[in-house]
Structure formats: C-alpha cells, structure tokens
Amino acid sequence: MEENRKTILVPWDFTSIAEFALLHALKIADTFNNDITLLNIVKKQKEVDEILVKLNQVADDTMKKYNIKPRVLAVVGSIFTTISEVASEINSNLVIMGTHGIKGMQKLTGSWALKVIVGSKVPFVVVQSPPKEHVFKTIIVPFDHKMEGKEKLAWVGYLAKYYKSEILLFKTGTSDELLMKKANNNIIFAKKFLEEKDITYKIFTAEGKKSFPDETLEFSQKNDGDLLLIMTTKDIGFKDYVLGATEQEIIANDAKIPVMCINPREDIRKFTGFN
C-alpha cells in the first residue's frame, strides 16, 4: 500500500454478509483509488496466525476475481472499540460493515451495530445486501433540528462529485415551531453548501404523521434510495441504547438500503472525506 494512501476497512468474519461489505468496498475503492483492508478481531493472541492464513486466502481469491488484493489484519480486541481504533491507525477514510458480518467474532446482542459505530472518527457504511449495479445514484439526506447534521454535507459533496448522485434532502415535518425553524435553518445551510459546489438537489418535507425515521425510510423506499446518509446521536448514552436511538431503526431498515453513519465532531465546521 502506498504511503499516506487511504484504505477502506472491512470487518471480516468469513460470512456472506461480510462478503457483501467487501463487494461494496471494491466498487468504492475503484472509484476513489483506495486500498482495502480486511480486519478480523480475535479473543486470544494464539488465534492470530491461524486467522491470518485464512484472511490471506480470501485476499488471494479477491485478487484473482477482482484484480484487487486487500491487506489483512488479525487483532486481539473488542469489536466495540478495536474497529474504530484500527481505522484511525491505518489511515482509513471509511469502514464498510455488514450488519451481521461481525457476529461471528463475538456474541452480540441488542444494538451492537450502533455501539460499534459511535465514537469512531471514521464514517461507517452499514450494508445488508450486495451493491446495486449503480452505486449511490440516489442519496437520501434527512435533516431535523440538530445543528450537527450539517457535518454530513461534506460527504454529500464528495459522493455527489464522484458518482453524479441525485441528492434528495428530506426535512422533518415536526409541528413544533422552534424545531421546524432550526430544521429550516439547516436546509438553508445545506442549499448554500450544495449550490456553491454546483451540486443539484431536491427538497422534500415529511408529513409529520409518523416518526421521522419511519417517514425517512418510507421516503427512501419510494424514491429507490441507494444510500441513506445520517448523523449518529450526539453524546449518546446508555438510555439511548436501551430505549433505542432513532438511527438504530434506520441502520437495520427492512429495505436493506445502505446507511452511512457519521459521528458528530466537537467542531461542526471540520469536515472529513476522501482526501
């Protein structure tokens, strides 16, 4: 791998769902000229050598089939911290993870996917099925009243630039005047950002008859969305995991639409992306 070259990290446990994540990574890597790294997390150091042999076989098979040979890593740790740590250490710009692709590493219950994602400095794309022929043709970007939602626009800009995506901004339909005012301000900011980058977009407003996540998912299915781009809950805590943060529902959507999850930063003016 070239020095300072970005890599896409794929958590790998030798399942079909992990294979789906790799297929998504191959398509994105081809567009952005990224490397790919397969990561398996083990419980004990004595397991590392055996796992590396298996990972190298996967890498060789991938090279034969797709002409891209991923790097491989086997690391002792916990999925809830190690994936994010490794992503930062190896100069990864994106983690692509199957929603069930890491269950084979450790016994998981409840909202495991969100626990893995929260706290990472690197965005996650969570997938449940193989990629479509057209990648990210239609990107759904929901906006509510939260100020940190503006951060995801940097990624909208990067993806739209490379994929010529159709950007659909979907605004909450809350009846609360204050929250609606904040949501409108976010949309105004988004419009300015996208217009400055000459990115075409359309704006839609939820009816407000159901929860915003439910209406977002219905809208995404109706408009054949290829990617849902969301922010995770800022300062998420134990209560959110128990009661269910709104993004859990979106991540595990029945339509199996890929979801890009970005964690809020301390300074919302700092954007990250494929540099």
Q: Using one digit for the tens of pLDDT, what is the confidence trace for 170-203?
A: 999 988 899 999 999 999 999 999 999 999 999 9
Domain identity same for 119 and 165: no
Last residue of a domain, one of 62, 95, 127: 127
The Cα–Cα gap between 145 and 134 comes to 31
pTM of the model: 0.87
Domain identity same for 56 and 121: yes
User: Are β-strands 138-143 and 259-262 bridged in parallel, bridged antiparallel, or unpaired?
Assistant: unpaired
Residue at 133 is within a domain: no
The Cα–Cα gap between 38 and 130 comes to 17
Residue 116: its pLDDT value, please? 84
Torsional class of 235: left (φ above 0), alpha (ψ -120 to 50), beta (otherwise)? left
- Report the CATH number at residue 108: 3.40.50.620
Query: Which residues on adjacent β-strands are paired with residue 9?
Result: 37, 95
The Cα–Cα gap between 29 and 7 comes to 8
Domain identity same for 161 and 89: no
Domain identity same for 32 and 76: yes
Res 238 pLDDT > 70: no
Q: What tens digit of pLDDT does each residue of 102-159 get?
A: 444 433 333 577 788 887 889 999 999 999 887 899 999 999 988 888 889 999 999 9
Residue at 241 is within a domain: yes
Residue 244 confidence class, pLDDT cut points 50, 70, 90: very low
**Alpha carbon of residue 35 to chain centroid:** 17
Residue at 251 is within a domain: yes
Q: Contact at 8 Å (CB) between 152 and 250?
A: no
Domain identity same for 111 and 148: no
The helices-and-strands tally (H runs, E runs) of the chain is: 9, 10
Name residue 247's amino acid.
E
Domain identity same for 88 and 35: yes
Domain identity same for 257 and 147: yes
Q: Contact at 8 Å (CB) between 209 and 175?
A: no
Q: Contact at 8 Å (CB) between 253 and 217?
A: yes
Name residue 186's amino acid.
N
Q: Retrieve residue 24's tokens.
A: 């998504």
Residue at 270 is within a domain: no
Residue recorded with tokens 């407000």: 208
The dihedral of CA 271, 18, 218, 226: what is its sign? Answer: positive
Residue at 111 is within a domain: yes
Mean pLDDT of the chain: 86
The Cα–Cα gap between 44 and 234 comes to 33
Q: Contact at 8 Å (CB) between 104 and 19?
A: no
Query: Which residues on adjacent β-strands are paired with residue 147?
Result: none
Domain total of the chain? 2
Percent of the chain topping pLDDT 70: 85
**Alpha carbon of residue 87 to chain centroid:** 13
Domain identity same for 50 and 98: yes
Domain identity same for 53 and 82: yes
222 CB-near residues (< 8 Å, 6+ apart): none
Q: Give the count of beta carbons closer than 10 Å to the beta carbon of residue 224.
A: 14
Strands in 12-121 per DSSP E: 35-42, 71-76, 92-98
Domain identity same for 40 and 15: yes
What residues make up the domain containing 50? 7-127
Domain identity same for 112 and 21: yes
